[in-house]
Amino acid sequence: MSYLRRIVSAGNVARRFGRKLSEDRGGTAALEFALVGPALIALLLAILYTMLIYLAQQMLETTAQSAGRLLLTGAAQTTTLANGRVGMNAADFKDAICNGYAGTAANGQAVRVASLMPPMLTCSRLTVNVTTANAYTTGGLAAPNFIYDSNGNVTSTGTGYSPQSGGSGKGKIVVLQLIYLWPTGKGPLGVNLANQPNSNRKLVATSVFTTEDFSCNAAQASC
């Protein structure tokens, strides 16, 4: 009997311990977070990863609108720059987008324009493409095709700078494209928005407009 009482007593102790253990909620939150936390953090990082790309796209769109105005009003075609050149060439136009410019407008007034590109974007990753069109169609709005070598370095961008396409630049339908290689990589949860070599994503902002009836600079036969 004594032996049986000890067995029953031990069973009662085990049941009481089990009941207390099942009722003890201490550490539950930590355990639940350990199970759910990594997935939640990965989801937040994936959202941030995607959001940064959309933010960069929006900044590029804003830059394209501002840069397009230089061509729309004839400022890019007629301004006498600080380097003495009348009218911007391709390098001048890109530099004006990245760093701003100073010079003299066609009417003789001094002009100074600040950088059009936000600090989050870098000039070394920007490519500018300016062409003209005969009509407002979507046929010429495809993104230029970048060509890379075996190491992933850009060898050709398929872009150019032709705001006039012969003769005067007034009344021309101009297509301005800003192409930016946004550095990215494989994000959490397998998210991968890179579409170019070296873990880059090509962002393209396009602005299409008809140039105003601006006046040429006195030093120009046509603009």
Strands 80-81 and 101-104: antiparallel
Q: Is the pLDDT of residue 4 over 50?
A: no
Q: How confident is the model at residue 37 (pLDDT cuts 50, 70, 90)?
A: low
pLDDT of residue 31: 65
Which stretch of 3-12, 138-147, 159-168, 183-192 has the lowest confidence by average pLDDT? 3-12
Q: Mapping DSSP to helix (H, G, I), strand (E, B) and coil, where does residue 127 land?
A: strand
pLDDT tens profile 42-97? 788 888 888 999 999 999 999 999 999 999 999 999 999 999 999 999 999 999 99
Between 42 and 212, whose confidence is greater?
A: 212
Q: Find the angle CA(33)-CA(36)-CA(39) to the nearest 5 degrees.
A: 130
Mean pLDDT computed over 157-168: 84
Is residue 215 within 8 A of residue 78, CB to CB? The reply is yes
Rounded Cα distance, 87 and 105, in Å: 10
Between 216 and 139, whose confidence is greater?
A: 216
Between 58 and 34, whose confidence is greater?
A: 58
Mean pLDDT computed over 168-178: 90
Distances from the Cα of 28 to the Cαs of 4, 24, 31, in angstroms? 37, 9, 5
pLDDT tens profile 85-136? 999 999 999 999 999 999 999 888 999 999 999 999 999 999 999 998 888 8
Q: How confident is the model at residue 20 (pLDDT cuts 50, 70, 90)?
A: low
Closest listed residue to residue 74, CA positions, set 114, 111, 127, 99: 111
Q: Mapping DSSP to helix (H, G, I), strand (E, B) and coil, where does residue 67 land?
A: helix
Q: pLDDT above 70 covers what percent of the chain?
A: 81
What's the pTM value of the predicted model, to 2 decimals?
Answer: 0.81
Q: How confident is the model at residue 8 (pLDDT cuts 50, 70, 90)?
A: very low
